[in-house]
């Protein structure tokens, strides 16, 4: 059991984080270059070979290791050194409860493709994510720099504010799927629903048989479209990425809370943001895009179709591979979307960031809870 957990944890560290994070630094440069009609990163090479600038992430790591690690005079040395770790570690361990596959039976042995599967998986991510706020605040306060302190204050106000909206925005998802367990949410999305089924349930109008094939995957984005937009907005603001990068605000407060950081300690802050991009992509894929599920092909359908020819063991293994690839394909799409938003929207003013949270997203998230409850009540009465 312990060996299985260790293997799955290593898989997450090496594939989801160790592979994606370096590539994302290249993607950010190349995607922005394409959007701005530039060439992008293409200078780093090995023996004259550049391969589209893919050596730049390696050059970045070498450069950060080679830079001097400076602690400014008057800084609180302990907090200054610990802050980057507190900011980076929660981003890594948050992936422990995000399932990248289903439960697969190989004879008497069952394999579940998630490191930990508590009943309160989503609450775990919210709790762990909030810890990163302390690392940002500690970095700003301990640096003995006015700009860093201002960046830390901005970060604390922004991240604490958006945590409220982020939590409320997914209450409708809890209500629809009747669980906080992420694996159960994905299993609930591994099916379809009739697009015109509401006519029968709510109004008693029979849907013609020839229209019954109009079905959509039972994904959260179709059941809770407003929640998808609000949650993605709130969680991107939590990550302090543009257009919500007020805590850094280079044109206003130098570099914000990490102004006094250099070398690999700055690299930890830099890396934690990109790890969180992967976590956001995985979490949004799990809640709203069906996680590992393949549209219109349930796990039973895939295994049943293949096992009749190649046997149950081969079919189960192939299904597992397809599910893992499907999950990471959705993660890649969500990473692309975050990068596209990052390079499309200008930085908000600070008052706009706060107004968006308290005056727009918070009222909408509360309204979404009441509307979801009303629709569920009407559906239950119609079904009865």
Beta-carbon contacts of 286 under 8 Å, excluding residues fewer than 6 positions away, are 98, 99, 182, 185, 186
Rounded CA-CA distance 84/99 in Å is 27
Q: What is the pLDDT of residue 171?
A: 92
CB-based contact 96:118 (threshold 8 Å): no
Rounded CA-CA distance 132/147 in Å is 20
3-state secondary structure of 288: helix
Q: What is the pLDDT of residue 80?
A: 82
Domain definitions of the chain by residue range:
2-383
pTM, entire model: 0.89
List the Cα angle 280/100/219 in 5-degree steps: 70
Q: What is the pLDDT of residue 47?
A: 75
Q: What is the pLDDT of residue 202?
A: 65
- DSSP line for 172-234: HHHHHHT-S-HHHHHHHHSSEEETTHHHHHHH-PPPPGGGTT-EEE--HHHH-HHHHHHHHHH
3-state secondary structure of 246: coil
Digit-coded pLDDT (tens) for 137-183: 888 888 888 888 888 888 888 888 888 889 899 999 989 998 889 99
Q: What is the pLDDT of residue 201?
A: 64
Q: What is the pLDDT of residue 371?
A: 92
The token duo for 142 is 């301990």
The radius of gyration computed from the CA coordinates of the chain, to the nearest angstrom, equals 23
Q: What is the pLDDT of residue 383?
A: 61
Q: What is the pLDDT of residue 384?
A: 58
Residues in the chain with pLDDT values less than 70: 1-3, 16, 198-204, 209-210, 249-252, 255, 382-384
């Amino acid at each position: 059991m312990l060996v299985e957990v260790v293997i799955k944890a290593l898989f997450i560290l090496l594939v989801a984080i160790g592979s994606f994070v370096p590539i994302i630094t290249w993607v950010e440069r190349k995607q922005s270059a394409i959007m701005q009609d530039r060439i992008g990163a293409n200078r780093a090479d090995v023996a004259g070979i550049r391969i589209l600038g893919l050596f730049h992430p390696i050059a970045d790591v070498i450069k950060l290791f080679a830079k001097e690690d400076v602690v400014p005079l008057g800084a609180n040395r302990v907090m200054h050194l610990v802050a980057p770790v507190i900011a980076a570690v929660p981003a890594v361990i948050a992936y422990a409860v995000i399932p990248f596959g289903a439960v697969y039976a190989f004879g008497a042995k069952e394999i579940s493709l998630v490191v930990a599967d508590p009943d309160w998986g989503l609450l775990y991510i919210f709790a762990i994510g909030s810890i990163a706020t302390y690392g940002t605040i500690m970095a700003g306060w301990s640096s003995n720099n006015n700009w860093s302190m201002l960046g830390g204050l901005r970060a604390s106000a922004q991240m604490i504010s958006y945590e409220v909206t982020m939590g409320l925005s997914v209450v409708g998802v809890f209500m629809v799927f009747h669980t906080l367990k992420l694996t159960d949410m994905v299993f609930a999305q591994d099916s379809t629903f009739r697009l015109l089924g509401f006519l029968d349930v709510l109004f008693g109008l029979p849907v013609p048989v020839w229209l019954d094939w109009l079905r959509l995957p039972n994904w959260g984005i179709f059941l809770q479209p407003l929640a998808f937009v609000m949650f993605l907005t709130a969680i991107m603001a939590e990550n302090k990425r543009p257009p919500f990068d007020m805590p850094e605000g280079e044109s206003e407060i130098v570099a914000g809370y990490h102004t006094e950081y250099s070398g690999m300690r700055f690299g930890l802050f830099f890396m934690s943001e990109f790890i969180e991009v992967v976590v956001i992509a995985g979490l949004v894929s799990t809640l709203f895009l069906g996680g590992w599920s393949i549209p219109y092909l349930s796990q039973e359908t895939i295994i049943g179709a293949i096992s009749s020819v190649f046997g149950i063991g081969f079919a189960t293994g192939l299904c597992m591979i397809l599910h893992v690839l499907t999950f990471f394909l959705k993660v890649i799409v969500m990473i692309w979307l975050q990068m596209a938003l990052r390079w499309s929207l200008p930085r908000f003013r600070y008052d706009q960031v706060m107004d968006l949270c308290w005056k727009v997203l918070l009222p909408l998230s509360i309204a979404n809870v009441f509307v979801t409850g009303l629709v569920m009540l009407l559906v239950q009465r119609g079904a009865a």
